[in-house]
């Protein structure tokens, strides 16, 4: 694990092994032009030729290491490309995060212990005030350091690579950037906490084990935590939650985690996360190739926990209630069947056409629960809900469905700044009839001729939100397997943690 600090010393006065230079395309240093020249003077007079020879032009993704001798010690000069600086869509900020990610990976690979990175000195580099920029850099560095190695005997027994990452913020030291650093550490660590939960397999992370994680958060950060057991759900007739869990030997847990529960006169935001610890499909069993990877089906709940971990530490002036139904979707003699009709907490009925469309069933009760007991101003739910979302948007954008433009615009904007990006799909009335049923109020799958399974699923959910402003996030594509993003790497990505926490942190400020 890295330790990240802001260095007080001048760039070259840091006695470290690695010196990092961020360069724009065309080999322009974003800072310290003079120090770039110092490399030419002290180490490599023909530096630009060397870089060109190695095809380093400062394109995004470029990274080149040159070894030199400084004060009789070997040092590594690390050049990293940022590509063209272009403020459109915050690409340059995302490129910077990825450059930071590649640096961290390189430091680990070459076991370069302590390293200083030279950051831009101008007032609003990359469109952010500098403290906010530091925050983004710290988050990316911490995320890049994540690996799921718990079960890799050789790696877990190694001491692991440790080093210091020093951020050099320029000659003008008038600001401390302590807040950006501290908040970045909180957010980065919480995102990795979520990724670890999503990466844990279902034989370790049962609904009970996941509920325990929520209880631990409550203990650590002084949150309220309530866990409804099966019998409590029966009393409330939460038929969706009960039906999905009925096939499994692992008891379901309906977890409610609250921040600022005792504060009055502040807005309430409900965060609802799908927590299916394993999705076999149930009686509508998934073909085995499609079942692999379904340990990740609790990524929505895990994202909500990660966001709560951040919220509890950074303390925005809002009341946040996290509602996470935790179940395992398994086939058995007790499992819910196709053709079954179930009744939810809000009294509505649904015909089960496919037991693999289980996420919406547990979310239905969770959304109803949020409205019934908390009357929130805003509800955001997050779920690995539909395979169709992977086809529609792939791995880089979370599907956003809402009929509230204000919330939608805010989520999109927060997505671009944090790199936890979302893209809207139309929740148009035309899709509404796709979930009609002959025998119940609604059916749990969209009629085949409507296609657009991601959107029809959101219309199912809409039946359970009557009063609140509401947005639905489908992270089926973004929660894991994101290709080619240095700071995300393999496995779970923590999709939604940065997005939800930032949305909540900004909420009562922007109004």
286 annotated active-site: yes
Are 378 and 316 contacting, i.e. CB atoms less than 8 angstroms apart?
A: no
Residue in 144, 211, 357, 488 binding ligand BES, rule: CB under 6 A: 357
**Binding-site residue total for ligand BES (CB under 6 A)?**
16
Of residues 354 and 508, the one with the C-beta less far from ligand BES? 354
Q: How many CA atoms lie within 13 A of 233 on its CB side?
A: 28
Interface with ligand BES in residues 368-387 (CB under 6 A): 384-387
Of residues 215 and 286, the one with the C-beta less far from Mg ion? 286
Coil, strand, or helix at residue 268? strand
- In the complex, the smallest distance separating the C-beta of residue 269 from ligand BES, rounded to whole angstroms, is 25
Residue in 94, 183, 297, 480 binding Zn ion, rule: CB under 5 A: 297
Angle at alpha carbon of residue 180, lines to 178 and 185, rounded to 5°? 95
Question: Interface residues with Mg ion (CB under 5 A)?
Answer: 279, 356, 358
Q: Which of 70, 164, 215, 286 is catalytic?
A: 286
Of 121-129, 215-223, 350-358, 423-431, which segment contacts ligand BES by CB under 6 A?
Answer: 350-358
* C-alpha–C-alpha distance, residues 135 and 178, integer Å: 10
279 binds ligand BES (CB under 6 A): yes
Q: How many CA atoms lie within 13 A of 176 on its CB side?
A: 3
Contact characters 421-450, ligand BES, x per CB under 6 A: ------------------------x-----
Write out the DSSP string of 305-356.
Answer: HHHHHHHHHH--SSEEEEEEEEEEE--STTS--TT-EEE-TTS-EEE-S-TT
* C-alpha–C-alpha distance, residues 437 and 430, integer Å: 16
Residue in 184, 359, 399, 494 binding Zn ion, rule: CB under 5 A: 359
State which residue has the least CB distance to ligand BES.
387
328 binds Zn ion (CB under 5 A): no
273 binds Zn ion (CB under 5 A): no
453 binds ligand BES (CB under 6 A): yes
* C-alpha–C-alpha distance, residues 297 and 272, integer Å: 14
* C-alpha–C-alpha distance, residues 415 and 418, integer Å: 5
360 annotated active-site: yes
Q: Which of 97, 132, 360, 462 is catalytic?
A: 360
- In the complex, the smallest distance separating the C-beta of residue 277 from ligand BES, rounded to whole angstroms, is 11
- Neighbouring C-beta atoms of residue 251, cutoff 10 Å: 15
- Classify the phi-psi angles of 348: left when phi > 0, otherwise alpha if psi is within -120 to 50, otherwise beta: beta
- Sites of contact with ligand BES (CB under 6 A): 279, 297, 354, 356-359, 384-388, 390, 445, 453, 476
Q: Which residues are catalytic?
A: 286, 360
């Amino acid at each position: 694990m890295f330790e990240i600090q802001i260095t007080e010393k001048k760039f070259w006065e840091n006695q470290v092994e690695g010196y990092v230079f961020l360069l724009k395309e065309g080999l322009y240093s974003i800072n310290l032009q003079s120090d770039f020249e110092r490399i030419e003077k002290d180490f490599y007079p023909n530096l630009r030729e060397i870089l060109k020879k190695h095809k380093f032009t400062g394109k995004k993704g470029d990274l080149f290491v040159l070894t030199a001798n400084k004060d009789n010690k070997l040092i590594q000069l690390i050049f990293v490309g940022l590509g063209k600086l272009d403020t459109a869509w915050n690409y340059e900020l995302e490129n910077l995060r990825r450059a930071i990610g590649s640096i961290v990976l390189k430091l680990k690979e070459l076991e370069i212990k302590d390293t200083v990175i030279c950051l831009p000195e101008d007032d609003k580099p990359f469109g952010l005030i500098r403290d906010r920029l530091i925050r983004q850099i710290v988050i990316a560095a911490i995320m890049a350091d994540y690996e799921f190695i718990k079960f890799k005997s050789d790696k877990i027994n190694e001491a692991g690579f440790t080093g210091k990452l020093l951020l050099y913020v320029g000659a003008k030291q008038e600001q401390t950037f302590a807040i950006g650093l501290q908040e970045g550490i909180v957010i980065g660590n919480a995102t990795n906490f979520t990724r670890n939960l999503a990466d844990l397999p279902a034989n370790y992370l049962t609904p009970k084990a996941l509920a325990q994680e929520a209880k631990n958060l409550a203990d650590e950060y002084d949150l309220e935590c309530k866990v409804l057991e099966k019998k409590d759900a029966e009393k409330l007739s939460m038929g969706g939650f009960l039906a999905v869990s009925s096939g499994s030997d692992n008891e379901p847990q309906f977890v409610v985690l609250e921040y600022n529960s005792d504060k009055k006169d502040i807005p309430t935001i409900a965060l609802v996360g799908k927590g299916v610890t394993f999705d076999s499909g149930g009686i509508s069993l998934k073909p085995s190739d499609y079942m692999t990877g379904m340990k990740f089906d609790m990524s929505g709940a895990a994202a909500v926990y990660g966001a709560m971990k951040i919220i509890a530490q950074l303390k925005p002036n809002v009341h946040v209630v996290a509602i996470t139904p935790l179940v395992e979707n398994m086939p058995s003699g007790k499992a819910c069947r196709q053709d079954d009709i179930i009744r939810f907490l809000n009294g509505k009925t649904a015909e089960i056409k496919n037991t693999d469309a289980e996420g919406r069933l547990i979310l239905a009760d969770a959304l109803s629960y949020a409205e019934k007991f908390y009357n929130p101003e805003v509800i955001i739910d997050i779920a690995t809900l539909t395979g169709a979302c992977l086809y529609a948007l792939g791995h880089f954008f979370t599907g956003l469905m809402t009929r509230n433009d204000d919330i939608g615009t805010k989520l999109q904007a927060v997505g671009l700044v944090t790199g936890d990006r979302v893209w809207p799909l139309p929740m148009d009335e035309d899709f509404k009839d796709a979930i009609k049923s002959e025998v119940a109020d609604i059916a749990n799958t969209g009629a085949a001729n409507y296609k657009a399974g991601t959107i029809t699923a959101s219309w199912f959910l809409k039946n359970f939100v009557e009063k609140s402003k509401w947005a639905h996030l489908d992270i089926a594509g973004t929660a894991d397997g994101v290709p080619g993003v240095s700071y995300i790497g393999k496995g779970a990505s923590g999709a939604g943690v940065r997005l939800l926490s930032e949305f909540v942190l900004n909420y009562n400020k922007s109004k």
